[in-house]
A = this chain, B = another copy of it.
Amino acid sequence: MGFDFEISSGSGSPIFKQIVDQVRLATVTGKLAAGAQLPSVRALAERLVVNPNTIAKAYNELSREGIIETQQGRGVFVAKPRQIYTKTERLRRIEPFIEALAHEGVVLGFTRAEIVESLAEKLDELGLFDGQQGKTS
């Protein structure tokens, strides 16, 4: 409940996706521990001033991915983390993001160093990697 969602309605990316991403990221960075309770669909919709259907869609997606579990009548909770994907599968999933950034970067005229540097900064901002807790299987 003590988790802050931040929605920027003019950012181009759909609201439900912003919520999904924030929850996914928070569970990885430890801001949302396994077992933590999330706000109800209606409560969150009210707090963020968005349509409840939008919240429901986000929770649905998170549920399908196994990141949260809804316990009927009790509420929505963060699930225990499971390493679902194989190394190959993880590489396959990250590829398009790497390609997109690389392409857009060179098209916009950035130098190799600028692109790599910007990414490194963003990663540091996310505040992980202190204890190198993410060994790659």
Spell out A's residues near B (CB within 8 Å): 9-10, 12-14, 21, 24-25, 28-29, 61, 64, 66, 69, 71-72, 74, 77, 79, 82-86, 88-90, 93-94, 96-120, 122-126, 128-129, 132-137
Contacts and interface: CB of A to CB of B under 8 A. Distances in A.
Contact of A135 (B21, B66, B111): B111
Given A71-B9, A114-B136, A28 B93 contact: no
A103 B134 contact: no
How many identical subunits does the complex contain? 4
A110 B85 contact: no
A132 B25 CA distance: 34
B82 A85 contact: no
Given A86-B86, A133-B112, A101 B104 contact: no
Nearest to A72: B14
Given A119-B119, A120-B116, A25 B103 contact: yes
Given A28-B107, A112-B133, A123-B115, A84 B82 contact: no
B97 A101 contact: yes
Contacts of A105: 94, 97, 123
